[in-house]
Amino acid sequence: MSITLDIRAILEHLPHRYPFLLVDRVLELEKGKNIVAIKNVSINEPYFVGHFPHLPVMPGVLQIEALAQAAGILSFQTMERRSDANSVYYFVGIDEARFKRPVSPGDQLRLEVEITKMRAGIWKYSARSLVDGQVACEAQLMCTLRTIEPSAS
């Protein structure tokens, strides 16, 4: 069964907020398998001021972060959990990252992430983003959920 999520539901699954929330909508999600989400790229993004003023391009590292955030939503849905103050879902690895085309204001990134392995608390994913059906970036990602230790007061 495929699930869709609007921005309110996304905010329940991710601790990220503006300007670092990089997923606008979930179009499809199948627990334990895959997610398709979107990121609308706007000229109002704060990084475009300096990257690059004469030719605005979304930084590749933020494209990877958007894919990792989509992976986090998929994992939280799979675990039937929500983001909370007692845990954090860390992005712990990137392999085989490739950038195939620039992403510019006005583009819509289609974020496609598939779980490839879950073992010993480490989740592995195959991920790619597309613009108008063309691959913008692709990578193998790893994430893990960790409990936050209370601070000693």
CA nearest neighbour of 105 among 40, 149, 50: 40
CB neighbours (10 Å) of residue 25?
17
Q: What distance in Å separates the CA atoms of residue 67 and residue 44, rounded to the nearest whole number?
A: 20
CA nearest neighbour of 66 among 148, 141, 133: 141
Catalytic residue chosen out of the listed positions 13, 16, 51, 54: 51
SS3 45: coil
* Close Cβ partners of 116 (under 8 Å, ≥ 6 residues apart): 124, 125, 126, 140
Q: What distance in Å separates the CA atoms of residue 50 and residue 42, rounded to the nearest whole number?
A: 14
**51 in catalytic set:** yes
CA nearest neighbour of 64 among 7, 23, 119: 23
Residues designated as active site: 51
